[in-house]
Amino acid sequence: MADGDDVADDLPERESAEARGEFPQNGDESDAADEINEGDDGAESDAVADAAVEADDDKPSSPKISKKSLFKVAKNAVKAETPALFSPITLRSVTARNRVWLPPMDTYSAFAGDGKPTPFHYQHYVSRAVGGFGLVCMEATAVSPEGRISINDLGLWNDDQVEAFKWIVADIKQAGAVAAVQLNHSGRKGSQGSFSVGYDGESLPFDRGGWQTVAPSPIAFGRMAEPRELGVDEIHRIVDEFRAAAERAVRAGFEVIEIHAAHGYLLSEFLDPLTNMRTDEYGGGLSGRYRLLLEVTDAIRGVIPETMPLFVRVSATDWAAGGWDLNQTIETARLLKEHGVDLVDVSTGGLLPGVAVPVKPDYQVPFSQQVRSKALVPTTAVGLITKPKQADRVVRKGEADAVQIGRAALRDPYWPLRAAGKLGLSMDEAPYQPQYLRGAF
């Protein structure tokens, strides 16, 4: 499969989530109730109601039940159950209170250029933890100064930065969320401008703080400067930088580490045949192209606690013929699982500028479902998931183990609390901080 365009039309029939024992047992009944709740009194719902009424006819002492009253009872019964979206999930020794997670989203707000988070980052991340997210993942955090996307990126390349993260991590956890961090090397997409320095979408000039970028092969991204091809010794040094950054993340108190191997940054560039033209052990066929990712995975897994979950974010397709696709993603995900990865964070795109992406609600969910079912590894889904019932349905149908709410969370830090109300949770069941109970939805 070249570009993933036909994924949604080529999904295998879903295995029962209840049979796997991985989801709350609210399956088809909840699907039907969702349709009833949304005003769909179709033929299937009528058949269910008729069967229930006929069953009652066999009991002489039972009164007749109308379809209208039966649906009302069913609706209330479903509301009494915990939605799949708000069931906890445990990976290794870490339990997230629900399946609504905040994905890493770059804010380019380390304005001093030192990689240290600021009071802005405290407010941004802790407010989402207070808002009820089960896991809060801090944005792409560079493993070296040259691994930054912009000069305003966060970083964990020195010990001074560890202390700057600790207060944020501690209060994310205090608010009941799991604290995660995404480690990244930007590769050819580094040294970009940002809203604070200008040069948006372009390479930052050296006299403004820019630097020479590196990549598997000297192929520029769009209008950006051409990167320098990495030597093998430099590749080994980058593995060491990921390892050291992971050790610092543990000291900062993070409970989960995510490796960024998506969106056209360095590890993604090595994976993709359109950006990796190498003929050595880090190029060529798939086994050469995923070599660096596996080395980084092994390096991090070797220095973090056995009880600590490790995630990898991937782009399941680059949406370009002849490039990275779903089949390669699935094969890589299988290997990542063998190397100690606990969850694959499934996204798409970002490698090439100007490609056509069929953006619509749930457009990336089928990729998550395919990786989950074929690689047999937990996954997340992301991409225009904005409504509570929509998000709950993704988890309930086994298309992902958690749902990431991105842009909607930028608009509403309390999205999970609003969703809990929409899905029928009481204020005692929803992830409210006690100070906010008087304002419960």
Which two three-digit tokens encode residue 302?
């070797």
Q: Which residues contact 381 (CB under 8 A, 6 or more apart)?
A: 346, 362, 364, 365, 368, 369, 394, 399, 400, 402, 403, 404
Q: Which of 417, 390, 439 is nearest to 129 (CA)?
A: 417
Q: Would you state the structure tokens that stand for residue 307, as one six-digit string?
A: 């009880």
Q: Which helix (H) or strand (E) holds 228?
A: strand 228-229
Beta bridge pairs of residue 429: none
Rounded Cα distance between 179 and 168, Å, is: 9
Alpha helix (H) residue ranges in 103-158: 119-130
**How far apart, in whole angstroms, are the C-alpha atoms of residue 65 and residue 53?**
6
Helix (H) or strand (E) holding 335: helix 326-338
Contacts of 112 (CB under 8 A, 6+ apart): 118
Q: 32 in helix, strand or coil? A: helix
Instruction: Provide the pLDDT for residue 181.
Output: 98
Chain-centre distance of CA 19, in angstroms? 25
Three-class DSSP labels, 62-110: CCCCCHHHHHHHHHHHHHHCCCHHHCCEEECCEEECCCEEECCCCCCCC
Which of 108, 125, 265, 432 is labelled catalytic?
265
- Reading the chain (441 residues) residue by residue, the pLDDT tens digits are 333 333 333 333 333 333 233 333 333 333 333 332 333 333 333 332 333 333 333 433 434 434 343 333 333 333 447 899 999 999 999 999 999 999 999 999 999 999 999 999 999 999 999 999 999 999 999 999 999 999 999 999 999 999 999 999 999 999 999 999 999 999 999 999 999 899 988 999 999 999 999 999 999 999 999 999 999 999 999 999 999 999 999 999 999 999 999 999 999 999 999 999 999 999 999 999 999 999 999 999 999 999 999 999 999 999 999 999 999 999 999 999 999 999 999 999 999 999 999 999 999 999 999 999 999 999 999 999 999 999 999 999 999 999 999 999 999 999 999 999 999 999 999 999 999 999 999
| Helix, strand, coil tally for the chain in percent (to 5) | 40, 15, 45
pLDDT at 81: 73
At residue 200, the pLDDT reads 87
Q: Is 436 among the residues known to form the active site?
A: no
